[in-house]
Amino acid sequence: MNLEALNKIAVKMVEPGTGILAADESTGTIGKRFASINTENNEDNRRAWREMLFRTQPAMQDHISGVILFDETLRQSAEDGTSFVKLIQDAGAIPGIKVDKGITPLAGRPGETITQGLDGLRERLAEYYELGARFAKWRAVIEISHPDIKVGRTPTNGGIKANNHALGRYAALCQEAGIVPIVEPEILMGGHHSVERCHEVTERVLNSLFTELYEQGVALEGIVLKPNMVVAGKQCAEQPTREEIATRTIKVLKDTVPSAVPGIAFLSGGQENEEATRNLDMMNKIGGFPWKLTYSFGRALQQSALFAWQGKAENYDAAQKAFNHRARMNGLASTGDWSAAIDDEVDA
């Protein structure tokens, strides 16, 4: 393991003013996104959509530090024959790759899942490195059960440990291959749970995670953490203010995340575009933590551009304008300089 090289990549991934574009949707997931704009899910449309994003300036150069790709996308080229990897590198960003193979029910733990993909991962990472990937992503999914459930509540300690053990093994294999692991334990925000319950579970998950990373020999200077923000479930009647979200999230991170970690790139978790941006901004306005706090957003960066594009070549410029705007807003949020007034502007 070349820790100096890994650390250099990790630091670049969380550079102030920039964040990570999650463009790693599986074929099925991007099909759902395309269905929302009545666009056929075929390889040509997937290539056209992602090429549009990767060619968007100044977003890619100024506000995107890295791009998480799907296996298909890592191997694809733009219409003129330029590989997507080169397109991303030429913009000054780092190509990355999603390496997990999705979730499956966890045996013996009803209502919980485990992420698959460790089998053959060493060999896949070696190939991905040769193709140009310098960081990777593995997503573990943690779900909080309904507050009314008293028996069989999730997550269980066993479920948390199983998912974090897999994250630790994945991260160690990445570092062995010269690839920075994004470590993503996502607590889903779609439920009925309160912000207090999310706080409690997030703390348990992150404490367990860093124990597993230590036990698997993972060097913390060469990772990026991608956690959820501490929010109430979308179905909860009482929603916290952005100040409470920011304060609780910072407290959990301070209580669990070692300062050796170069940075934390939050997932948006289904939050609306501006909601994810303003919560990140509030954390950076509060400050007082040792890591860089930035974004690793998919939908919160892409959704407005997708709706502007509508699968039509004539909407290319409008889609790029929308992507430029959201990238700029999140770049400002990563330094605590975002405001609602700025977000209301139409970028030139």
Give the residue numbers annotated as catalytic, written as ranges: 184, 226
Distance CA 276, CA 268 (A): 6
Distance CA 163, CA 169 (A): 10
| Beta-bridge partner residues of 94 | 66
Q: Write down the H helix ranges in 55-120.
A: 59-63, 71-75, 84-90
Q: Which two tokens stand for residue 62?
A: 């100024």
Distance CA 4, CA 175 (A): 11
Backbone angles phi, psi at 94, to 5 degrees: -105, 130
Tokens 């960081």, residue located: 135
Backbone angles phi, psi at 118, to 5 degrees: -75, -30
Sign of the CA dihedral 259, 260, 265, 271?
negative
Tokens 């959509």, residue located: 49
Q: Write down the H helix ranges in the chain.
A: 3-13, 27-35, 43-54, 59-63, 71-75, 84-90, 121-131, 157-176, 195-215, 242-256, 273-286, 299-309, 316-333, 340-343
Q: Write down the H helix ranges in 177-229.
A: 195-215
